[in-house]
Amino acid sequence: MTDTAHPTAAHLFDLSDNQLRARASLKWSTVEPDVLPAWVAEMDVMLASPIIDTLQNALLRHDAGYPGESDDVVQAFTSFAHDRWDWHIEPDHISFHVDAATAASKLMRHYAGPDRSVLIMPPVYNRFYDWLAGSGVKPVEVPLTDVPNGGFFDLDGIEAGLNAGTKVILLCNPHNPLGRVFSQHELSELAELAHRYDAVVLSDEIHAPMVYQGVEFTPWLTVSDAARNTGIALHTATKSWNFAGLKCGIAIRSATGPWPAELDPTMTRTDTGFWGLLATEASFRDSRPWIDTVRAHFQEQTQHLTKLVAEHLPGVTFHPPQASFLAWLNFRDTELTEEPADYFLREARVALSPGVNFGDAGRGYARLNMGTSTERLERIIAAMGVAWPPR
Ligand SMILES: Cc1ncc(COP(=O)(O)O)c(C=O)c1O
């Protein structure tokens, strides 16, 4: 059933603290009762109604076995990619996995060269470090440059890493935590380098459905021939439609690029979460009004946050993201000397993600989750403001 009625953000995010504290998932259930959580990337939102209907129907059918046919979910995803990003994907170039993490780990294990290393560009999604460790590979860190102004590839540093033998680049685009959407030009430069050094690019694009209006997202496999020859893309609906616990990762190849046999759909058919797969189909096919409302809300939250930070946290800066619901707050030019997330948890009872979790390049920063109502975002920043400047 298509969700034709445009839900409003005021309605979708209208959940009280008590309702959210009753949730058993990670963000709210693991903080103290007086703490406002703004850490892990879960949203304080109601699920899209087509997802609820799909899951309720599965429950009513007592239907919780292994995943069956995937033609419909493949069709849902390929149409979404075509309509939103002008990306033409062959149906048999897709396979489903437990989640993005599992697919990435398999790929890193497969493609890491003799030195068992993978190149990452911090500050970057904290769990990349765990994925690498779990895959038995070591990080080669090439920090993004000029992070206060958005974050850019250090092409010389990347070339040095590839020249030293690293065979895999784990790219994050749209970027967590910076919210950066890399341009076609930037990506094509990276693709040329990867191609020259015969490296594989794993492009984690799971935040892409939340790219803001007016921002162009270029999927890796549409960047250039060099990108197609080097890349595998990772997508999910679970992040953007907020059902990470249901599990479903999507890996996409090109006709000319790398693709190990263990990622083939015939091998991974029953790997993914069955309900995750059902919800993924309901997302990409039937829940476009929901994601459009949600991403417009995040775009507005970004503008609102700029004003709130200026008012309550003078001296703190952040570069407005172009996608998703994460803000990378910069405390480096302030008097705060301790880890910002520790300080605000103790003094403001607000839980942020510590910047250092995103690599050494994250020291002096904290990641704020603004995937909540405007009212709660205001309360979070006001609470931080009471503890500001540091005593
Ligand atoms: C960039 C990025 N990749 C992957 C994930 C996790 O994806 P999954 O739950 O499918 O492993 C996240 C979660 O926030 C993320 O931000």
- CATH code of the domain containing 223: 3.40.640.10
Q: What is the pLDDT of residue 1?
A: 47
The CB of 239 under 6 Å from ligand 1? The reply is yes
Which range of residues forms the domain containing residue 335? 9-46+288-386
Q: Verify that 72 and 178 share a domain, yes or no.
A: yes
Residues 62 and 21 in one domain: no
Mutate to test the pocket of ligand 1, among 125, 211, 252 (most ligand atoms within 8 A of CB): 125
> Do the bridges between strand 350-351 and strand 36-37 make them parallel or antiparallel, or are there none, so unpaired?
parallel
Report the distance separating Cα 61 and Cα 81, nearest Å. 31
Contact 228 CB / ligand 1 (< 6 Å): no
- 263 and 343 in a single domain? The answer is no
Pair of tokens at residue 71: 């033609």
Q: Is the residue at 188 inside a domain?
A: yes
Domain annotation covers residue 217: yes
Q: pLDDT in tens for each of the 391 residues of the chain?
A: 455 567 899 999 999 999 999 999 999 999 999 999 999 999 999 999 999 999 999 999 999 999 999 999 999 999 999 999 999 999 999 999 999 999 999 999 999 999 999 999 999 999 999 999 999 999 999 999 999 999 999 999 999 999 999 999 999 999 999 999 999 999 999 999 999 999 999 999 999 999 999 999 999 999 999 999 999 999 999 999 999 999 999 999 999 999 999 999 989 989 999 999 999 999 999 999 999 999 999 999 999 999 999 999 999 999 999 999 999 999 999 999 999 999 999 999 999 999 999 999 999 999 999 999 999 999 999 999 999 999 8
3-state secondary structure 301-330: HHHHHHHHHHHHCCCCECCCCCECCEEEEE
Nearest to 362 by CA among 341, 347, 381: 341
Neighbours of 351 (CB within 10 A): 21
**Would residue 2 count as lying in a domain?**
no
Tell me, what CATH number does 306's domain have? Answer: 3.90.1150.10
Last residue of a domain, which of 286, 307, 322?
286
Q: Of the residues 258, 286, 314, which one is the last residue of a structural domain?
A: 286
Would you tell me how many other CB atoms lie within 10 Å of the CB of residue 155? 15
User: 391 alpha carbon to ligand 1 midpoint, in Å?
Assistant: 36
Q: Which atom of ligand 1 is nearest to the CA of 172?
A: 1
Instruction: Indicate if 275 and 299 belong to the same structural domain.
Output: no
* pLDDT of 6: 77
**Nearest atom in ligand 1 to 104's CA:** 11
Asked whether residue 234 is assigned to any structural domain, the reply reads yes
Decide which of 269, 286, 303 is a domain's last residue.
286
In a domain, 391, yes or no: no
Nearest protein Cα to ligand 1, atom 4: 100
Decide: 229 in ligand 1 pocket, CB within 6 A.
no
Flag whether 51 is in a domain: no
219 and 249 co-located in one domain: yes
Same domain for 348 and 257: no
Say if residue 296 is in the same domain as residue 370: yes
Tell me, yes or no, whether 27 and 145 share the same domain: no
Q: Is 238 in the pocket of ligand 1 (CB under 6 A)?
A: yes
**Number of domains the chain contains:** 2
- Sign of torsion, CA 218 328 295 102? positive
Q: How far is the CA of 294 from the centre of ligand 1 (A)?
A: 18
C-beta of 95 in contact with ligand 1 (< 6 A) = no
Residue 222 shares a structural domain with residue 362: no
Measured in Å, residue 324 CA sits from the centre of ligand 1 at 12
Is 53 domain-assigned?
no
DSSP secondary structure string, 332-368? TTSS--S-HHHHHHHHH-EE-EEGGGG-GGGTTEEEE
Question: Does residue 361 sit in the same domain as residue 242?
Answer: no
Q: Are residues 186 and 293 in the same domain?
A: no
Report if residue 370 sits inside a domain: yes
Q: Strand, helix or coil at 232?
A: strand
Of 78, 98, 96, which Cα lies nearest the Cα of 86? Answer: 78
Cα(100) to centroid of ligand 1, in Å?
6
Q: Does ligand 1 come within 6 angstroms of the Cβ of 235?
A: no
Q: Starting from the edge strand earliest in sequence, which strands make up the sheet with 138-141, in order?
A: 94-97, 249-252, 231-235, 200-204, 168-172, 117-120, 138-141
Our answer on whether the CB atom of 301 is closer than 6 Å to any ligand 1 atom is no
Residues 113 and 249 in one domain: yes
Say if residue 174 is preceded by a cis peptide, omega within 30 of 0.
Answer: yes
pLDDT of residue 149: 96
Please identify which residue in the block is written with the tokens 């990276």. 190
Q: What is the pLDDT of residue 391?
A: 82
